[in-house]
Chains A and B, each alone.
Chain A
Amino acid sequence: AQTIHQWPVAEIKAVGSPLSLGCTIKGKSSPNLYWYWQATGGTLQQLFYSITVGQVESVVQLNLSASRPKDDQFILSTEKLLLSHSGFYLCAWSLGPTSQGTGQLYFGEGSKLTVL
C-alpha cells in the first residue's frame, strides 16, 4: 500500500527565517507530486507539481521554491519567510506521469506553518 508522510507536522518560525518542508511517498514508483497551500479556513491552492525527478513546475510561487531530489521525495523551501506564508501545506501524489489518469489526489497529513 502507498503511504505519504510529511514533515514536520508543525513549525513556528520568525519572519525572514528559512523554511524547509518535506514529503516522502512509499509504495509507488514515479508518482506525480504536488504541493498545495491552504490559508486558515480557505481553499486549497496548488503551488508546484513534479512529474519526474529533478523537474518541478510552478503554478503559484508565493516566494517559495520546490525540488524533487529523489523519485519519492518532494521538498518545499524558502530562504526568507513572510507573514503571508502562514497556513497549512499539503503534499499529494497521483498516478503519473501519463496524462491519461483521472488526476485523483492522495494527500499527506499536512504541515502547519505559523510565521510570527
Chain B
Amino acid sequence: DTEVTQTPKHLVMGMTNKKSLKCEQHMGHRAMYWYKQKAKKPPELMFVYSYEKLSINESVPSRFSPECPNSSLLNLHLHALQPEDSALYLCASSQAGQGVRSYNSPLHFGNGTRLTVT
C-alpha cells in the first residue's frame, strides 16, 4: 500500500471546468512534489514545496495552481486546461534537508490521478 494518497483516481473534465487534485501523506515529510507523466515517459517535475513554501516552479502554465495548506496536504487546482494536459499526475514526498530536500532521500509517490481533458 502506498503511503501517499491521491484523490481522485480518475478525472474527466472539460476545458472550461475547474477541478482540484488532492494529495495527502503522513510520513512527516516536509518536501512535496507534483509531477506530470505522459504514457511511456518518465515523470516531469512541475512544482516542489519545501516546509509548505513553494520552492520550485518548472515554468508551469498558470492554468495549474498548486497549494500546500499544511505539511500533510498538497493540492493542484486546475482551470481552463487543454486536451494536451491529459496525463497521469503524480504526487510525491520526501524528507527535506537543509535545502529543498535531503538529496539521499528517495521520493515516495502516490498512485496518481489519471486526468482526461475533453
- A, B from the same assembly: no
| B interface, CB within 8 angstroms of A | none
